[in-house]
Amino acid sequence: MAVQEFISPTSLSEAQQAVSDGAVSSWLAGGTDLLVGIRLGARDPARVVDLKQIPELTAIEIDDASVRIGAAASAFDVLHNSDVPSLFPGLAEALDLIGSTQIQGRCSAGGNLCNASPAADSIPALIANGAQCRILGPDGERMLAVEDFVVGPNQNALAPGELLVELILPRPTAGTSDSYLRLTPRTEMDIAVAGAGVSITVDESGNCAAARVAIGAVAPTALLVDAAAEALVGSQLDQAAIDAAVEAVRAAAAPISDKRGTAEYRTHVVGVLVTRALAKAQDRITEARS
Amino acid sequence: MNKPLNKMAVQATINGESTAFLCSPGQVLAEVLRDELELIGTKIGCNTGDCGACSVLVDDRLVCSCLVLAAEVEGKSVQTVEGVANGGELHPVQQKLLEHGGLQCGICTPGVVIAAKALLEHNPDPTEEQARYWLAGNLCRCTGYDKIIRAVLDAAKTMRGEAA
Amino acid sequence: MNAYQEFRMIGSRPVRPDGLDKVTGRARYGADLNMQGQLYGHVVRSPHAHAVIRSIDCSKALAMEGVLAVMTGQDLVEPGNQMLGSGEGAMALKDVVPMVMSQGKVLFHSQAVAAVAATSPELAAQAAQAVEVVYDVLPAVTDVHKALAADAPILHDDRFPDGYPEEPTNLATHISLTVGDPDAAFEKAEVVIEQNYSVPMCHQGYIEPHACVARADAAGRVELWCCTQGHFTVRHYTSAVTGIDLGKIKVTASEIGGGFGGKTTVYLEPLAVILAQKSGRPVKMVMDRGDVFRATGPAPGAETKVKLGATRDGKLIAADVECLMDSGAYNGNPAGIPAFMATACYKLTDARSTGRSVYTNKPKIHAYRAPSIPQVTLGFELAITELAAELGMDPIEFRLLNAVEEGDANMMGAPYNRIGLRECLEVARNHAHYKSAVAEGAGRGVAMGYWINAGMQSSATLNVIADGHVAILTGSPDIGGSRASMALMASEVLGIPFEHIHPKVAATDAVGHTDLTGGSRTTLATGQAVIQAAEQCVAEMCRRAAAEWDVEAGVVTWSQGAAHYGDQSLTFEELASRAGAMGGPLTFSSSLTSTSTAPGFGVHICDAEVDKETGRTTITRYTAIQDAGKAIHPDYVEGQMQGGAVQGIGWALNEEYLYNADGVLENPGFLDYRIPVASDLPFIDAVIVEVPNPLHPFGVKGVGEVPIVPPMPAIAEAVYQSTGVRFRDLPLNPPKIVAALASN
């Protein structure tokens, strides 16, 4: 069947109203996954509900405590926001790796998250930054950590009628920075064979005070690897600590072999990426202090 | 199972002209541009956003028109390759592509013109690397990109008013 | 000696005549024409890679409102053994028909089995789903070695390769050639190396999918508009596949969005014609991108065993090459070319060369830029490099010692005329790239390439317009700037401005027969027809001027666009404007079978850096050097060299057809079939060497195919130099490199 109906609500309540009859509907943010899915026959919604006319869904708001990114805000808008790329350079790196300039003009962090690909670039970066999902449904609002939002390959935690409104990232504290790296055979236009997002806090004495390490494309969902963070926290980010963190992510990784890479390769390279991402985040912290 | 005639009326500005068209709710912009509005300069190479041949600007934003629903452009402004030249005067990107031989078969050229124009509006003085990354979504199988990148960098120079 | 020694226009870089339409979006490609009242065709494709079709029931589809025609393979001719000529080797009709539509048996996934025509694309797609096909599914085999195993499923039980007993086999062809006594030569060799190399199946990757529109009238005449490298070939093949008289078919070539050999046959065109005949309405068909990958002819994967023998002082004295090639489901004849041409760059009087091809459950392979040569050259050139290293010699010096020159023969027997391989090697040796130090961590590779270069049939018609402009009609689809070359050549001969010449690609009913744009033949052969037509024009204008002046024609000279005798002159414009009074319209045609070809050679230098932890390879510097004979429009010669080099880079690093166990292609799109993108590459330095072809009036040699030949061995060597690990199996993707580095 083809799409029978296109609706463009202008408020959250209209959006909820639009799907209240239970017809098979798809939320449309940037459409870069949804429309491909429809074209290739993987998705078949009778109704498409465009979210981009709802102000909350495309807003990017920053206050003293947090940064809120509307679920349908395009990667291009996030990347060209005056503050977000400097607050979260790793998240910016992740969004800048999704598809082409053309794709980034449309795709959104929220859509990338809802599509829930194991290889999604923005998800490890969001997890590393402790992002929370604000979800609105028929029964009201709830919050969910990004690492809990994806429940399986291309499966998210949204119940029927629920909508991801925005992503809320706590503002990084002093001495904190992030980084995201992925491996693809080409420089661009590829799906991650493995990805690694890290966020670390380093105090004045070089001690790692906090860390979050997330990996992508090496398991059915992106993973937050607590053991890797534990290996880093309290260390001087010395070789031994980094080796332990790498060992932890390789232990956590449970990849498959497919057309994009072997399981052995993915397990190996995700460790390389974590090492390099940590170095990059550390450099950013040092640079900010100097 | 016959498809119902379920058409939507959309009003948009296409290449500067106020335009109304009918589309089905699931129809993509590339298809409407080509089949309804006869703007065949927008090419379809993959229909999945991987080749960039269908690049257009929607409210000055570079997108693949195969990944935009036609209904989404209601009230918006769309520019296709047909709207890039100013009357008889070519845009510097078009002119430099011709001068550098930056096309062979030419099927990717409309997308390259649109994407490069967007680049230079966004960044008037791109490095070679920036130009290559911005245009990474515009596949060309003929040229190896060499003369395309040279043409785009030269067009940037012209637009900045520097001698070639 | 070339007829023309000095040039006014040749070698300049004017803006191509078709350029304006292409940068403004006006140019019409295959999918850009719509006909009044047209229907949309949709192909029903097999979900199985190997099956017998038990039945096809189209009745439900045909009963749908808006569905006006259905067809199956039974609507095509039943092919016998007749051969169809083509630009790049003859094809048997029985190998062409099933690539259009299966007749009873399915031999690869997504093979066409039926088609429908309906009033909208969506409806046609729905109707295709309503076609009921019952299959008896058979086991599929996609690997050449498994296909040759005793227990393999047999694809064709009625085909037996020459020289073999009539027993079921998937061996398609076997060809073996020997010159001299290679066994004795190996006995004398002081250094012998023997290695195996492999290259995967890949696709031409043109950006424009196949597309056409057809209409038929009540008198049985058929018109086709399509994107093709050869509309005369489309006419010929469509006639052969449908049984419609050749004379009743007219084909117009649209602009073409890339082909590289892949658009030298028919897929949709005969289907659109039959659906148009059945429905009485025009039918448009556009292939889906996934089906382009799944169901059109890719380039064969190949394994090559190379054994070389040399003396200690660096003379190559013996070679033995065995190439095993994947033909796909039907016979694409991939094995002959490598057997004949594997050793073509080297002075070898004692050599053996063997080619075999094998049927597998994949689409029948088709031409891709220098068909089959890059595959065998990976092995041969890498073996040469390994041999040079073994001898402790510089790879260019070793090649210079052994490279062919005028008078040497290759395995096809005939000695070379004036070729430019040594000149290319000398340019490479002295190039700043080769003299520069290799960056820390990077490596450098060098390799050579050869292509025979085709001649074949071409036609041109030149019509002089009353204001002194000229229209030139040729039958060669312009795939990369050939109209600019044709206009330059005509301008050179006629002496009138380039801008006054208007080249067109004419339909099959408007110009003489012309073979397809392929084999690197168009600038040479169609150009020759243009030159001859222009020379006829000059001769006639001189004759008319002589009549006007009442002198012998022989005393009138032509220069700078005018006839001269003494202090009298008549310009091209004057003769054009007075044509009616001076003897009638000025129109000239030339048709020829060109025998003026000369082979092409090139040398590439590649620097690459491998990230030893991730296995990613970055091409850091690349130089392509090639003998073009004479570059007519240097931009488009360089463009061929750069584009061919980058196709080779893609094939070397990441491009590869990946099939699952059921014979289903796993990467049928540009996301996972990874052709290079702009950010993957450096500038490609193209250096044109000009050693004129003595057989051509301007000295032209074909240039299109050679540049895809050297990249794979050059890159493989650069990766070896960067990593210290020898890779002989492509592609050199990151997992493969990391695994190899780990095991070393």
Last residue of a domain, one of B49, B66, B83: B83
**pLDDT reported for residue C86:** 58
Which tokens hold the place of C175?
């060809």
pLDDT of residue B1: 38
Interface contact flag, B143 C678, Cβ < 8 Å: no
Of the candidates A5, A48, A101, the beta carbon closest to that of B115 is on: A101
Residue of A nearest to B4 (CA): A4
Evaluate whether residue B164 is within a structural domain. Answer: no
Q: Which domains does chain C have, with CATH numbers?
A: 19-27+455-594 (3.30.365.10), 33-138+204-295 (3.90.1170.50), 302-447+599-743 (3.30.365.10)
Confidence check: pLDDT of B152 > 60: yes
C738 chain-A contacts, CB cut-off 8 A: 265, 268-269
Question: How far apart are the C-alpha atoms of B57 and A5, rounded to whole Å?
Answer: 25
Please list the residues that pair with C299 across neighbouring strands.
Answer: C202
Per DSSP, the three-state class of C376 is helix
Q: Does residue B103 belong to any structural domain of this protein?
A: yes
> C733 to chain A: which residues are within 8 Å by CB?
185
Tell me which residues of chain A have a pLDDT lower than 50. Answer: none
Domain membership of residue B73 (yes or no) is yes
**Are the beta carbons of C123 and B113 separated by less than 8 Å?**
no
The answer to whether residue B100 is domain-embedded is: yes
- The pLDDT value recorded for residue C281 is 98
Contact B49 A38 (CB under 8 A): no
Report d(CA C71, CA C43) in Å as an integer: 9
Q: If contacts are CB pairs under 8 Å, which of residues 250-289 in chain C contact chain B? A: 255-260, 288-289
pLDDT of residue B164: 58
Based on the domain organization, do B12 and B79 belong to the same domain?
yes
Topology of A176-289 in CATH?
Enolase-like; domain 1 (3.30.390)
Q: Are residues B75 and B137 in the same domain?
A: no
pLDDT at residue C682 in the model: 98
Contact: B107, C208; criterion CB under 8 Å: yes
Mode of pairing for the β-strands spanning A25-28 and A47-50? parallel
Residues B139 and B99 in one domain: yes
Helix or strand (DSSP H, E) at C741: helix C734-743
* Tally of domains within chain B: 2
pLDDT recorded at residue A226: 98
Angstrom distance (rounded) from CA B57 to CA A125: 29
- CA-nearest residue to A257 within chain C is C735
Amino acid at C668: P
Question: Looking at the domain assignment, is residue B114 inside a domain?
Answer: yes
Q: What are phi and psi of C643, to 5 degrees?
A: -65, -40
Alpha carbons C225 and C212: distance in angstroms, whole number: 5
Q: Residues 94-113, chain B: which have Cβ within 8 Å of C?
A: 94, 97-101, 103-110, 113
Neighbours of C352 (CB within 10 A): 23
CB contact under 8 A, A102 and B63: yes
Which amino acid would we find at residue B4? P
pLDDT at position A290 is 85
Question: Which residues on chain C are in Cβ contact (under 8 Å) with B142?
Answer: 258, 480, 639, 643
CATH number for B37: 3.10.20.30
- In this complex, do A183 and C670 lie within 8 Å of one another by their Cβ atoms? no
Dist. CA C621–CA C612, nearest whole Å? 19
User: In CATH, what number is assigned to the domain containing residue B104?
Assistant: 1.10.150.120
Q: Which residues of B touch C684 (CB under 8 A)?
A: 144, 146
Q: Do B135 and C678 touch (CB under 8 A)?
A: yes
Looking at the DSSP assignment, which residues form a beta bridge with residue C562?
C559, C571
> Hey, which residues does B78 pair with through a beta bridge?
B14, B58
Asked if residue B55 and residue B79 are part of one domain, the reply reads: yes
Chain B residues touching residue A2 (CB < 8 angstroms): 3, 24-26
Rounded Cα gap, residues C164 and C41, in angstroms: 43
Contact A134, B95 (CB under 8 A): no
> In this complex, is the C-beta atom of C49 within 8 Å of any C-beta atom belonging to chain B?
no
Q: What pLDDT is recorded for position C107?
A: 98
- By Cβ distance, the residue of A2, A185, A189 closest to C734 is A185
The model's confidence at residue B3, banded by pLDDT at 50, 70 and 90, is very low
What the block records as the tokens of A187 is 């420089």
Q: Which portions of chain C are predicted below pLDDT 70?
A: 1, 86-89
Tell how strand B77-79 and strand B55-58 pair up.
antiparallel
The full set of domain ranges for chain A reads: 5-170, 176-289
Q: Looking at B32, B61, B83, which one is the last position of a domain?
A: B83
Interface test with C, best of B105, B114, B138 (most C CBs within 10 A): B105
Handedness of CA C714, C716, C718, C724 (dihedral sign): negative
Check residue C162 and give its pLDDT: 85
Question: Do the chains contact at C676 and A269, CB–CB below 8 Å?
Answer: no
Q: In the CATH scheme, what is the code of domain A5-170? A: 3.30.465.10
Task: Tell me, yes or no, whether B101 lies in a domain.
Answer: yes
Give residue B5's pLDDT.
60
Q: Is residue B1 part of a domain?
A: no
Chain C residues touching B108 at Cβ < 8 A:
207, 257
Residue entry with tokens 């289903």: C664
Q: Parallel, antiparallel, or unpaired: how do β-strands C211-216 and A223-224 relate?
A: unpaired
- The letter for the amino acid at A43 is R
Is the domain of B26 the same as that of B58?
A: yes
Full domain range(s) for residue B140: 92-159
Question: By CA distance, what is B103's nearest residue in C?
Answer: C480
Residues B51 and B106 in one domain: no
Answer yes or no: pTM beyond 0.95: yes
DSSP letter, residue C496: S
Q: Which of A15, A21, A5 is nearest to B71 (CA)?
A: A5
B79 and B12 fall within a common domain: yes
Of A259, A262, A272, the CB nearest to C613: A272
b/e map of C676-713 (b: 16 or more CB within 10 Å)?
bbbbbbbbbbbbbbbbbbebbbbbbbbbbbbbbbbbbb
Tell me the count of A-C CB pairs closer than 8 A.
59
3 state SS of C279: helix
Beta partners for residue C712, in sequence order = none
pLDDT value, residue C88:
54
Chain A residue at shortest CA distance from B71: A6
B78 shares its domain with B107: no
Residue at a domain's end among B83, B100, B119? B83
CA-closest candidate to residue C513, choices C247, C146, C256, C300: C247
pLDDT at B2: 42
In chain B, % of residues over pLDDT 70: 96
Residue B63's closest chain A neighbor by CA?
A102
- Which of A189, A259, A269 is the closest to C667 by Cβ? A259
Scanning the structure block, which residue is given the tokens 């450099």?
A283
- Beta-bridge mates of residue C178: C352
Amino acid at the residue C300: P
Contact B26 A40 (CB under 8 A): no
